[in-house]
Structure 1
Amino acid sequence: MKWFFVLSLILVLCSCKSNKKETETTEQWTSLWNGTDLSGWHSYLGTPYQMKTDSLGNTLTPFGIDNDPLEVITIADTDNGNAIRISGVAWGMIYTERDYQNYHLKLKTKWGEGMHPPREKGPRDSGLLYHGFGEPGSVYNWMGSQELQVQQGDMGDYWPVGDVEIDIPSVLKDSMYYIYKDNAPLRSYYFAEILKTATHDSLAKRRVFKAFNAERPHGEWNDVELITLGDSSIHIVNGQVVMRLFNSRKMSNREKLHSGKIILQSEGAEVFYKDLYVKQITEVPEKYR
């Protein structure tokens, strides 16, 4: 009986320790969105449909910061609870009030039906931008940042936005573009127009295709994850690593770029985002090493 009591006590203690560890791990995730409003976020919106003038020839000015008369950014009730709905009618973004560094971010996203000029013929487009810096609207209707592409059929691709550069293991995909490949030679990608090299291959200096398509069919929710540690990052779509990126930096002064705003784009298409969580990290989770 005595040994039975001692054994039972050990099992209880081990169970408590295990549950405590599990609870602590769960508590490390912090919600980036409260599910009801845009507290902790700001918006910046350009003109409707990227128009420069109205029908009378009057110059249109961007809506700017936290001014959304067309309700481009709203909270919608979806088949899976509340979500941030971005109509795409005006190009722009929502961005976090604070900067983030060394984190694991996860969210859910799915496409709506709306498609608007000048992208009414698709593909549907948005984006998860990270390490955002500078004035809102300073780069087109966004800010300087690295981009995990959220575009229909291209989820997980890379684009530079503004004064940024990064190195990606990649090989030629076709006669012009490059595609991510594990352990391939590093190739630098940057916003070519900054160097006034907007030649036929300028897009090849910018866009990198993800390793493979892991996106779910239209109308289904996708799980997108981003890991940033130091000046490296990992793009993950539906649990699969589609790209690893290294040496994030500003192009103008080679300064390391490893922190900044988290941004969701409005870019001509209706898109929904929900369940945004972030966890501070000191190492890449074992699952994605």
Structure 2
Amino acid sequence: MHSPAVPVTFAGEDSGTIMLKKQMIFAALLLPAAAWAQSSLEQARAIAGDPPAARQRLVLADLPKATGKATALFDGRSLTGWQPWLGYADPALTYRGDPNAKPVGTSRDTSGDFAVRRVDGASAIWIKGQTWGSLVNTADLRDYHLRLQYKWGAKTWAPREKEPPNNGLLYHTHGQPGEVFGTWRPSVEFEIMKGSTGMIVMVGGKVRARTTVALDPSLIAPHLRFRTTGRTVDMVNGTGTWNVEAGSDAERPIGEWNTLDLYVVGDRAIHVVNGVPVAEARDLATVAPDGTRQPLTHGHIQLQSEGAETFFRAITVEPIRTLPRIVVK
């Protein structure tokens, strides 16, 4: 996702957030541009009192029992039940806000972007990744356990050809196709990116969540890593809390299949990578036109196309009533 700008408005925010933003602005005024780019967010968060990201070993407990039958969201034969959407023909335009740029949308045949392929002896959804966009499942889901497998293909594309392969499992998807940067629909993201799978990202300026974080200067800004004992932050796109890194990197080497489990009940969610819980989000919400926060408790699944060839298979969902617990070992 995009890098955030320094926010300058404080109305309606808690005192900790206001203090952090003032510190960020103060640092920006005092530091040379290069130093600001490299260290201001790190310094501001340290001043704000983020605890250091001490290593945690996390496991799941009290796994919920399904309250109904599992449903396959991919039938293994076709993309029935999935709606494609493509962003700009040149993905480099995605974050530029050019009013003259128009997304591709559904104006062309998308079979060269999304298709069903036979991989490792089984059917999989193939996402080319060259043109950014998404596949949105038509089912409106709430209170569920979703499981899927993915693995990276061989191709990466400009403008991310030299970056870690990137995709995403977006959930509680709502709104209109292309509403976010002409490319995606508003949602909460279970990031799929080499080294960062499980990261929480807000997709859209009116999507909100809360989680607990600690300071990890080794990360890209805003240097926040999920920790069960960390400080609670309100996640807002375009600010210093636009993303929170997964608690650990549980992804397997490129070329191997990975299993993701997403548990969602109401406005809470848990991200699990290859059996390891790596993040928890709560108080999922959208901001209404009058500025009030409305709980976000359901929506569609959205698979991204974002610069890397990716395969998805064995996509199932089953109803649940409770979330598992994340336990520190």
Coarse TM-score class (shorter-chain normalised): 0.7 to 0.9
The C-alpha deviation readout for 1:131-190, integer Å capped at 9, x for no partner, is 011101110200110000001111000110012010001111128411100132311111
The aligned amino acid for 1:274 is R
Structure 2 counterpart of 1:206, from 233, 239, 242: 242
Equivalence for 1:97: 138
Rg: which structure is higher?
Answer: 1
Equivalence for 1:259: 298
Does residue 1:236 correspond to 2:272, yes or no? yes
Does residue 1:177 correspond to 2:223, yes or no? yes
Equivalence for 1:226: 262
The C-alpha deviation readout for 1:198-227, integer Å capped at 9, x for no partner, is xxxx3x311101111100000000000101
Structure 2 counterpart of 1:125, from 141, 161, 166: 166
How far is 1:32 from its partner? 0.7
Equivalence for 1:145: 187
How far is 1:51 from its partner? 5.9
Aligned residues: 250
**Larger strand fraction of residues:** 1
Instruction: Answer yes or no: is the 8 Å Cα contact 2:66–2:320 preserved in 1.
Output: no
Distance, in Å, in 2 between the alignment partners of 1:182 and 1:167 is: 12
Distance, in Å, in 2 between the alignment partners of 1:280 and 1:94 is: 22
User: Comparing 277-286 with 230-239, which one deviates more in the overlay?
Assistant: 277-286
User: Comparing 216-225 with 250-259, which one deviates more in the overlay?
Assistant: 250-259
- SS of 1:126's partner is strand
Does residue 1:166 correspond to 2:166, yes or no? no
How far is 1:258 from its partner? 1.1
Equivalence for 1:8: none
Extract structure 1 runs of 4+ deviating beyond 4 A: 24-27, 285-289
Identical residues among aligned pairs (%): 33
How far is 1:48 from its partner? 2.9
Q: TM-score, normalised by structure 1?
A: 0.81
Q: 1:90 to 1:176 in 2, by over 3 A?
A: closer
Q: 1:100 to 1:61 in 2, by over 3 A?
A: same
How far is 1:29 from its partner? 1.1
The C-alpha deviation readout for 1:6-49, integer Å capped at 9, x for no partner, is xxxxxxxxxxxxxxxxxx96972110110111111101112334
Distance, in Å, in 2 between the alignment partners of 1:247 and 1:270 is: 33
Q: 1:77 to 1:282 in 2, by over 3 A?
A: same
Instruction: Answer yes or no: is the 8 Å Cα contact 1:42–1:65 preserved in 2.
Output: no
The gaps in structure 1 that reach 5 residues or longer are 1-23, 53-58, 193-201
Q: TM-score, normalised by structure 2?
A: 0.71
The C-alpha deviation readout for 1:231-289, integer Å capped at 9, x for no partner, is 10000000010011110011343000111110000001100000000011111247989
Equivalence for 2:311: 272
Distance, in Å, in 2 between the alignment partners of 1:44 and 1:232 is: 27
The aligned amino acid for 1:32 is L
- SS of 1:48's partner is coil
Structure 1 counterpart of 2:284, from 237, 248, 273: 248
Q: 1:168 to 1:35 in 2, by over 3 A?
A: same
Distance, in Å, in 1 between the alignment partners of 2:326 and 2:119 is: 31
